[in-house]
A and B are shown apart, each in its own frame.
Chain A
């Protein structure tokens, strides 16, 4: 669960769109760098950068596309990533779906 909804103006309840980024070091693993745009608590677009490995490489785009429209909640992000990874026989090295979900949440959390 989110401690606070970063996409809602707390005082007014006004819905805001948001650009976020984060650098997330996976414990004992690689670095994930996230750049995303979100609106109404959902991802509009996302790019995933980093020094990790993923097989096949081009499948990173399937993950990025698969995350479009995904709700910015750690649990549901993880499920979404897992389903794209498993559905396309993608192999991740240096991070897990849970790490990517955490990195995405870090990109939208208030610093």
Chain B
């Protein structure tokens, strides 16, 4: 089995989400499953499909700090994307690469990440529905959607985490309990650097996760690039959806 590997580098939030959707929409024509690694510049907050930007995000603070905002096409929670590797994996449902059962497919795809963490010397485990933990602390979260016979799962691998910065842009249900909540999250969230006890670069994490996918799916992973159709579609989707208020403020 062959997978295409895309490394699309650092991009603004709207472009990042548009590329994922373009890959997804072109997948039935392209055929080959795609593993993509990317990062966010500027740092960004993405919210889940069912969330409200106004409820979840301090928009004034984001503007002040130059932090991007975007709504995802996937469910799940608000994520502050800063020092992380973000992955996406796309394949058709009928390729039988991932199970039809959504919960089982989360477990299978996330196992690639578990193996990737192993490459980094970390003992990770998958916690349903969509988390990966190391030493009992969350180090990665994923979100999946299925549309028109295509599976897209994307997620984060935290390389470094700054919980204070995270909560400077994320709203909490009760402002009075914010300090307590920050302390609580510090206890429950970790990062590759924290666990490895050393500086770790994006490149090393990307190589480890690629190996994890290759081993998990017994796949040959070949470096590729976005097709012209995907690039054109991504530009259109970025403009029409992810950079538009009507989408980002949908709920």
Q: Which residues of A contact B (CB under 8 A)?
A: 23, 30-31, 33, 47-57, 60, 91, 93-94
**Residue contact A53 to B251, C-beta cutoff 8 Å:** no
Q: Tell me if B78 counts as interface (CB < 8 A to partner A).
A: yes
B68-98 interface with A by 8 A CB criterion: 73-78
* Other-chain contact of A56, B50, B143, B146 (Cβ < 8 Å): B146
- Known A23-B173, A91-B102, A94-B129; judge A49-B50 contact (CB<8 A): yes
Q: Is chain A's interface secondary structure helix, strand, loop, or mixed overall?
A: strand
**Shortest Cβ distance from B72 into chain A, in angstroms?**
10
**Shortest Cβ distance from B64 into chain A, in angstroms?**
25
**Shortest Cβ distance from B157 into chain A, in angstroms?**
19
**Residue contact A50 to B129, C-beta cutoff 8 Å:** no
**Residue contact A53 to B55, C-beta cutoff 8 Å:** no
Q: Tell me if B118 counts as interface (CB < 8 A to partner A).
A: no
CA distance A38 to B146 in the complex (A): 34
**Residue contact B145 to A57, C-beta cutoff 8 Å:** yes
Q: A50-B51, A93-B75 are in contact. List 6 more A-B contacts (CB 8 A).
A: A30-B77, A52-B50, A52-B75, A53-B75, A57-B145, A93-B102
Q: Which residue of B lies closest to A93 (CB)?
A: B129
Chain A residues with CB under 8 A of B143: 53
Q: Which residues of B contact A (CB under 8 A)?
A: 48-52, 55, 73-78, 102-103, 129-130, 143-147, 173, 251
Chain A residues with CB under 8 A of B130: 53
**Shortest Cβ distance from A111 into chain B, in angstroms?**
13
CA distance A79 to B143 in the complex (A): 28
- Known A48-B50, A55-B102, A93-B102; judge A33-B55 contact (CB<8 A): yes
Q: Which residue of A lies closest to B73 (CB)?
A: A57
**Residue contact B77 to A51, C-beta cutoff 8 Å:** yes
- Known A33-B55, A49-B55, A51-B76; judge A57-B129 contact (CB<8 A): no
Q: Which residue of A lies closest to B129 (CB)?
A: A93
**Residue contact A51 to B48, C-beta cutoff 8 Å:** yes
Q: Which residue of B lies closest to A30 (CB)?
A: B77
Chain A residues with CB under 8 A of B74: 53, 57
Chain B residues with CB under 8 A of A52: 48, 50, 75-76
**Residue contact A53 to B144, C-beta cutoff 8 Å:** yes
Chain A residues with CB under 8 A of B50: 48-52, 54, 57, 60
Q: Which residue of A lies closest to B48 (CB)?
A: A51
- Known A54-B75, A91-B102, A93-B102; judge A49-B173 contact (CB<8 A): no
CA distance A85 to B80 in the complex (A): 31
Chain B residues with CB under 8 A of A91: 102
